[in-house]
Structure 1
Amino acid sequence: MKVMEKAPAKINLALDVLYKRPDQFHEVEMIMTTVDLADRIELEEFKHNQIKIFSHNRYVPDDDRNLAYQAALLLKKTFGIQQGVGIKIEKNIPVAAGLAGGSSDAAATLRGLNRLWKLNLSLDELAELGSKIGSDVSFCVYGGTALATGRGEKIKHLPSPPKCWVVLAKPVMGVSTADVYKRLDLQKVEHPNVEKMIQAIENQDYRQVCANVGNVLESVTLPMYPEVSHIKSQMERFGADAVLMSGSGPTVFGLVEYDSRLHRVYNGLRGFCEQVHAVRLLGEQAGLE
Structure 2
Amino acid sequence: MIKLLPKSSKLIGRLPKGCRYCEKGAKLVLLVTGLCSRRCFYCPLSKRKKGKNLVFADEKKVKNDSEIIDEARLIDALGTGITGGDPMFVPEKTLRYIKLLKENFGKSHHIHLYTAGNFEKKWINKLDDFGLDEIRFHPPVYSWDKMKNTSCEKLIKKSLNTDMDVGVEIPAMPGYENKIIVLAKHLDSLGVDFLNLNELEFSETNYNALNKMGFTVKKDISSAVKGSEKTAINVMKKTDVNMSLHYCSSSFKDAVQLRNRIM
Task: State the TM-score bracket (shorter-chain normalisation).
Answer: under 0.3
Larger radius of gyration: 1
Which structure: greater helix fraction?
2
Q: TM-score, normalising length from structure 1?
A: 0.26
